[in-house]
Amino acid sequence: MGSKSSRISDLPKNEYLKKLSGTESVSENDPFWNQLLSFSFPAPTSSTELKLLEEATISVCKSLVENNPRTGNLGALIKVFLSRTKELKLSAECQNHIFIWQTHNALFIICCLLKVFICEMSEEELQLHFTYEEKSPGSYSSDSEDLLEELLCCLVQLITDIPLLDITYEISVEAISTMVVFLSCQLFHKEVLRQSISHKYLMQGPCLPFTSKLVKTLLYNFIRQEKPPPPGAHIFPQQSDGGGLLYGLASGVATGLWTVFTLGGVGSKTTASPELSSPLANQSLLLLLVLANLTDAPEAPNPYRQAIMSFKNTQDSSPFPSSIPHAFQINFNSLYTALCEQQTSDQATLLLYTLLHQNSNVRTYMLARTDMENLVLPILEILYHVEERNSHHVYMALIILLILTEDDGFNRSIHEVILKNITWYSERVLTEISLGSLLILVVIRTIQYNMTRTRDKYLHTNCLAALANMSAQFRSLHQYAAQRIISLFSLLSKKHNKVLEQATQSLRGSLSSNDAPLPDYAQDLNVIEEVIRMMLEIINSCLTNSLHHNPNLVYALLYKRDLFEQFRTHPSFQDVMQNIDLVITFFSSRLLQAGAELSVERVLEIIKQGVVALPKDRLKKFPELKFKYVEEEQPEEFFIPYVWSLVYNSAVGLYWNPQDIQLFTMDSD
């Protein structure tokens, strides 16, 4: 481009880009590459910047797509990059800024070109572009070197082996982004890819031995949350000949377009999102999630998922079983801290879910922590702000709670953790409340939100399952938590009566008219009765197992005793109502004996005394309520589109035209 160019619209006419994409072959030893790679500008990050860049260079990229089978210039560029990476580690140690800068630029161009190639053609066609042989222009041979596999392996080694320094930060991010681009062919298919050339290269052959090292590196990148070096950390001497492509944009033309981009101009945000404070951590996490959710190969399971399922704590000295491949160790304390701090992002919540669900070592460690509030509170905050979150994020948070509540130790310990002044809970001032009571409040609020807004049965079921798992260990419930349990039952009772009335009226109307189809009130009634029964079982479980620990729940039951009257003789609820009816009758009698106009304090005192006097054998025993999270069949049908939607929305420095996306609809969550 030269030092005179200052507008991105000039890129299609740039002499270096025209030569790269033209009809003339350029040898990998040609001095042209040094000129091409001598540009210096901050790589665009926002979608607006990236869209402008892509629109300006699309004609160049398409010209290369057309001419590369005859010129092999893409392969030559990749060979230039591969030769440079062999000296990259030494260059980092020697602080060779210019060498690393040019190598980064080569990878940046490769990544931009690959994105267009992958969007424009099938993987098989892409592979042909990578297997060009200079000795026979335009011909392809199965014996020719496969630059695609070589480039992938090189990227893996670059990510895992190059030390993270200020001068290597950007090339590390670019290497991870390029791997994401390699796997992005999934975006352009409606169906989940079960066989892919890039998947095969990553899960077999030369890349396979680096599996555990790559997963470990990506995890540590997430844990460390390293921020990018400050602007101006890289100072390059201006070249006498004016430099190569885009060199003038960052040096001689300080008032040019990139200044607009980087100083708050077109499409920029005034504040960075929390998850983007570390582009390296963000990209690493996204790549890790993509790798973990690759479908299994016909002859072998996904090695990246195996690595995620089996890694252990650095404090664990026990040997790995020989049957576990790709095993490694990582500092669980650091991992736990990072997960607690990063739950504002979908991808961090998805990682937490993945580890809790698939890695028993991580799950055991987390459940043994004495500071579980640091993990649980961010999850509760996600659910509390349900209207601001997408449905997938809410589901992940809820399933995490369900997995945690499968453990009785967790269910006991959360009632022993006392919290002060929960500022984000705005319905009521909570100056002091147990973590367990707060969890109950937030889950009940989520159920009520779902009843009035989304009406999602799956969400209902998981909320109630978490409450049911905890119910036998309810301890010292906060009075507000006890009230909300009964208030939810009241809401369900009113809804039940309303649906029952609608069904009755509809049935009467149908007797006089045979033409109009009947609404399916029977199904609605069945669903609401299932939920009511579940709530009754939760209340019953608490009364049966921990009545003496929960005077506030008994108080709330007595205060709203009339609610339960209609369900005493209902055939669907008679059995589970026995204990509830017994408790209401027993304590109502004692209050009646104590006289009228009793204070709240006096009522609670009578309840506490009555708990001791109530014979435990009078309460009927029911099977313990226990619900276990079970992943649905073919979970990849949910998780792969979800992960790629996160990549599409959150990846730094990557932009795809929404009209090209096939995997998910752009207006969905």
* Per-residue pLDDT reduced to its tens digit, 596-622: 788 999 999 999 999 988 887 888 888
What is the number of alpha carbons within 13 Å of residue 424 lying toward its C-beta? 14
Report the candidate in 447, 467, 345 with the shortest Cα–Cα distance to residue 396. 345
pLDDT value of position 204: 86
pLDDT at 56 over 50: yes
pTM of the model: 0.88
CA distance 182 to 174: 12
CA distance 505 to 510: 9
pLDDT value of position 22: 92
Buried b (16+ CB within 10 A) or exposed e, 320-357: eeeeeebbbbbebeebbebbbebbebbbbbbbbbbbbb
Where residue 3 falls among pLDDT bands split at 50, 70, 90?
very low
Query: pLDDT tens, 189-201?
Result: 999 988 888 899 9
pLDDT value of position 598: 86
Question: What is the three-class DSSP state of 252?
Answer: coil
Question: What is the three-class DSSP state of 518?
Answer: coil
Where residue 52 falls among pLDDT bands split at 50, 70, 90?
confident
Chain-centroid distance, C-alpha 614: 49
Mean per-residue pLDDT over the chain, rounded: 85
The token pair that represents 113 in the structure block: 């070109």
The token pair that represents 374 in the structure block: 């640091």
Buried b (16+ CB within 10 A) or exposed e, 639-666: bbbbbbbbbbebbbbbbbeeeebebbee
Query: pLDDT tens, 146-161?
Result: 889 999 999 999 999 9
Angle at 627 between CA 389 and CA 388, to 5 degrees: 5
Question: What is the three-class DSSP state of 313?
Answer: strand
pLDDT value of position 267: 29
Which residues lie below 8 Å from residue 136, measured CB to CB, with a gap of 6+?
none
Rg of the Cα trace of the chain? Answer: 31
pLDDT at 481 over 60: yes
CA distance 6 to 3: 8
pLDDT at 253 over 60: no
Q: What are phi and psi of 541, to 5 degrees?
A: -60, -40
Where residue 320 falls among pLDDT bands split at 50, 70, 90?
confident
CA distance 299 to 318: 30
Where residue 268 falls among pLDDT bands split at 50, 70, 90?
very low
pLDDT value of position 53: 82
Query: pLDDT tens, 364-392?
Result: 999 999 999 999 999 999 999 998 888 89
Q: Answer yes or no: are the C-beta atoms of 148 and 126 closer than 8 Å.
A: yes
Neighbours of 594 (CB within 10 A): 13
pLDDT at 248 over 90: no
pLDDT at 274 over 80: no
Which residues lie below 8 Å from residue 481, measured CB to CB, with a gap of 6+?
433, 437, 438, 440, 441, 552
CA distance 457 to 196: 36
Query: pLDDT tens, 68-82?
Result: 999 999 999 999 999
Most confident of 346-360, 418-432, 489-503: 346-360
pLDDT value of position 453: 79
Question: What is the three-class DSSP state of 235?
Answer: coil
pLDDT value of position 602: 93
